[in-house]
Homo-oligomer: A and B are copies of this chain.
Amino acid sequence: MDKDSRPLRADARRNRDSLVAAATAAFTTQGVEASLEDIAAEAGVGIGTLYRHFPTRAVLIEAVYRSELERLCDAADTLLAERAPDEALAEWMQRFVAHVAAKRGMAQALKSAVASGDGSSELFAYAHQRIRTAAGQLLAAASAAGLVRADVEATDLVRAMSGICLGSDLSASTEQARRLVALLMDGLRYSAPASVPVTA
C-alpha cells in the first residue's frame, strides 16, 4: 500500500518504458507469443530486468494494452487541437478500429487471464470508461460546432464502432471496417444543424 506509492527510481522507470515499447512492437508484429528474451534484448536490458518488472507474460501484455489505450485516448485531445472537430472525430474513429484490429490477440490473452483470477476484468471496465469519455469529448465538440447531429450519445457511438469491429470477423478485412466507419461518420454528419437547421 505504501511501497507502491513511492515512485520508481529513474533508471527503473526508463527501463520499464523501453520494455513496454519493445513489447508493443514485438506483440504487434509477431503476436503475443513473441520471445521475451528478444523483447528484453530489443529494449537493451537484461532478461532479469524484464522479469522483475513483469513477472508473467500476462502482466506485460496488460501493460502494453494499457499504454496503447492511453495513447489512443490521449490522441483525442491532440486531434481536437489540430483540426476541425468533425475531422478529428472521423480520424479518431478510424484509429479506434485499427486499434481494436491490432490488439485482438492481446485482448484474447487478457481475457483468458481473467479466468486465472487477477484483476483484469476491472481493466476492461476501465478501458470502456476511458474510451467512452474520449468519444464523448470528440462528439461534443463536433456537435457544438454544428458539424454532426446532436442526437447521438457517446455510448451509442462506441457500441456502433464495437459492432463494426466484431462484425468484420476476419482481421484481414481492415478495408471493410474502414469503409463502414466512413459510412457511420457520414450518417453522423447527415442531419447536422449546419446543413439542416433544427426546426423543433
Interface residue A191 (Cβ < 8 Å from any Cβ of B): no
Would you give the shortest CB distance from A120 to chain B, in whole angstroms? 12
Interface residue A112 (Cβ < 8 Å from any Cβ of B): yes
How distant is the Cα of A103 from the Cα of B83 in the complex, in angstroms? 48
Number of copies: 2
How distant is the Cα of A112 from the Cα of B106 in the complex, in angstroms? 13
Interface residue A115 (Cβ < 8 Å from any Cβ of B): yes
How distant is the Cα of A112 from the Cα of B112 in the complex, in angstroms? 15
Interface residue A171 (Cβ < 8 Å from any Cβ of B): yes
A170 touching B115 by the CB < 8 A rule?
Answer: yes
A172 to chain B: closest residue by CB: B115
How distant is the Cα of A112 from the Cα of B105 in the complex, in angstroms? 9
Q: Which residues of A line the B interface, CB within 8 A?
A: 105, 108, 112, 114-115, 170-172
